[in-house]
Amino acid sequence: MKREFERYRFGSQRMLVGGLQICAAIGLLAGLSQPWMGRASAAGLALMMLVAVGVRIRIKDTLLQTIPALLYLALNAYLRLAAF
């Protein structure tokens, strides 16, 4: 993972990104009882994945390498709009 973050040119922000992802995952679980929290967390993760797709495009990754970020973007956008 550390090498991947260096490749994305986000090496110094690895802990921040990981912390935000953990907080968002907890927010998704909390969304089971507090829907507004689940929607907010899903929106945050969707935004993070949108940035990830942009980074993948910027560093000229292949479509195959970009697909996971696209799928997580779609999943979190769906959760934001239709779930909770």
**pTM score of the predicted model:** 0.86
Query: What is the C-alpha separation between 16 and 12, in angstroms, rounded?
Result: 9
pLDDT band at 10 (very low <50, low <70, confident <90, very high): confident
Query: What is the C-alpha separation between 70 and 68, in angstroms, rounded?
Result: 5
Task: Give 14-62 pLDDT, tens digit per residue.
Answer: 999 999 999 999 999 999 999 999 999 999 999 999 999 999 999 999 9
Query: What is the C-alpha separation between 37 and 84, in angstroms, rounded?
Result: 9
Query: What is the C-alpha separation between 63 and 56, in angstroms, rounded?
Result: 9
Q: pLDDT at position 84, please?
A: 66
